[in-house]
A and B are shown apart, each in its own frame.
Chain A
Amino acid sequence: MSETAKIEHTSVLDAIEDYFERGWTDGLPVVPPTPEAVAQFVARAGRDPDDVLIAINETNMQCTVEKAAINAVMAGCKPEYFPIIVAAVEAWAGPGWGPTPFYLGNATTGGPGQMLIINGPQRLELGMNCGINIFGPGTRANATIGRAVRLILINALGMLPGAFDMAIQGHPGKYSYCVPEDEENSPWEPLHVERGLPPGSNAVTVLGARGPVMVDERSHQDPEGILAPIARMLVALHDNSYASGPSVLVMGIEHARFIAKAGWSKQQVKQHLFEQARAKAHPDLRGRGTADADGLSSIVRSPDDFIIVVAGGSNGGMTSICPIFVSPLGVTVPVA
């Protein structure tokens, strides 16, 4: 940790203002990262502070365990949140993604944010909100874990808006985009178990996604009726040459329960959407399958291009579509 520059301030407020001046912020005040606080985070990870979690050759920027810890302190995290952040940043660099495609996915004009899907008992232990207002404010762990990865992108990896991050519009999830799955209220297996990790283990899934688009459907109880407007919205969102079909569906509990009550598995939901979300084939449209006699093809190549997680309140029928953009279909890793 000796190579990291130390900065002197006259007060805490002076430090906060200085970090604004230096551009070391997402636009909100940061918690000043003192050496003592950072050391607690590094100790919690049980890692050498100089371990490189991701290094991007194109930009010659990198994030070590220590730099991740500094940014996690700045985001307002508690030390016990830090293992999720370490696992997420390493997953960006690891098998299934990798530093160069990760850089490209954050430089793009297309504007994805870096989503984290959280699974396992850590959600409850850290007091995460899986329910009402899942994408909204109010819960420290949700807000600050998502914010920490954005600060890592801005500060450690240099993805400054207007320089290396050239999102035409971006979206609010680029402040924080952290979705813990409501495993206790889901009728199906959680995402990390679906992907081969043991039930009861902790995991994080990382991917780049555009902002959530809510599909409000409260007039049906049958799976076909609930899924019809979701399929229509999938088509609407993906019917141009810059879109891609794969998406995360953050399905509200009411939708999930009605669909499961009819005997449908999660895989059947994916298959149904694969079959129903069809649009006119066009040579500029990416990710499409073969066109049928009517010139229509599914907006995705496979049912597994849809990721389904159950989260949000049980107080109404709603599912959000989060289009995946310049990103793999989620990389799921254990959290130590």
Chain B
Amino acid sequence: MTLLQEPPFITLDPTGIKQVTVNSLAPRLATFNGARVGLLHNTKVNARQFLETMTEVLGEQFELGEVVGPVLTAGEMRMLATPDQIRDMAERCDIVLVAIGDCGSCAGCSVVNATELEKLGVPAVVFATEPFARTVESMSRRRGFPGYGHVLVEQPLSSATAADLRRKSEAVLREVLAVSLGSHQN
């Protein structure tokens, strides 16, 4: 490098971004009535309990079909689902609820799990706590689903009581319906 070089002074881009194809969302549900609802959770504290509470809240509004799971992710660090788990959930469910993103790795991995389901034609709903909004948005872009609909739950979840889980689930019901049902666009 010389400080006396005539303009333009040329430098190189340090980023390692690979080009990604923009994917289409799976078709959304017409209604939760009769829908087979899959529950896919990681090892984070209260992830399973949150999904069960959310299903209870949904069940009070709709005549749900079979509830599949809860299924614990069996892939890397118990954060990622295995390809077999994704295929199995895609075959057995009309929609899958995916939780929880309340850490950097589990928020990113929840989006990976959900977008793999979307690629197989099954809509998925990612739940993350509010501080991880940017993680979810960034990962959605890098997975080829820019603007992917997700549901942000009030932080914290790991120390939440059963009553807290109920309140937090009720608070996001409207958002769950918004990203799950027919009118939703990516």
A contacts, CB < 8 Å to B: 4-12, 14-15, 19, 24, 31-38, 55, 58-64, 66-67, 70-71, 74, 100-101, 103-105, 107-109, 151, 155-158, 160, 162-167, 326
Contacts and interface: CB of A to CB of B under 8 A. Distances in A.
Contacts of A74: 14
B152 to A, nearest CB: 14
A-B pairs with the 4 shortest C-beta distances? A166-B104, A156-B16, A107-B104, A8-B8
25 contacts: A8-B8, A8-B9, A12-B1, A12-B9, A24-B14, A33-B12, A34-B1, A35-B12, A58-B139, A59-B108, A60-B18, A60-B143, A62-B16, A66-B12, A100-B80, A104-B76, A104-B79, A104-B105, A107-B103, A155-B16, A158-B15, A158-B142, A160-B138, A166-B104, A166-B131
Given A101-B77, A163-B135, A166-B107, A155 B1 contact: no
Interface in B124-139: 131-132, 134-135, 138-139
Interface in B79-138: 79-80, 103-105, 107-109, 112, 131-132, 134-135, 138
Nearest to B108: A107
A110 to B, nearest CB: 8
B17 A158 contact: yes
Given A60-B142, A63-B16, A164-B135, 15 more contacts: A7-B13, A10-B9, A24-B15, A33-B14, A58-B109, A59-B108, A59-B142, A60-B18, A61-B17, A62-B16, A67-B16, A100-B80, A105-B105, A162-B134, A166-B104
Interface string B1-37: 1010001111111111110100000000000000000
Contacts, number: 141
A163 B111 CA distance: 13
Interface of B: 1, 3, 7-18, 20, 76-77, 79-80, 103-105, 107-109, 112, 131-132, 134-135, 138-139, 142-143
Contact of B134 (A24, A32, A163): A163
Contact of B76 (A8, A101, A108): A101
A75 to B, nearest CB: 10
Contact of B104 (A15, A63, A101, A167): A167
B142 A9 contact: no
B7 A38 contact: no
Nearest to B10: A6
Contact of B77 (A32, A71, A104): A104
Nearest to B11: A32
A61 B142 contact: yes
B56 to A, nearest CB: 26
Contacts of A163: 134-135, 138
Contacts of B16: 61-64, 67, 155-158
Contacts of B1: 12, 31-32, 34, 36-37
A163 B134 CA distance: 5
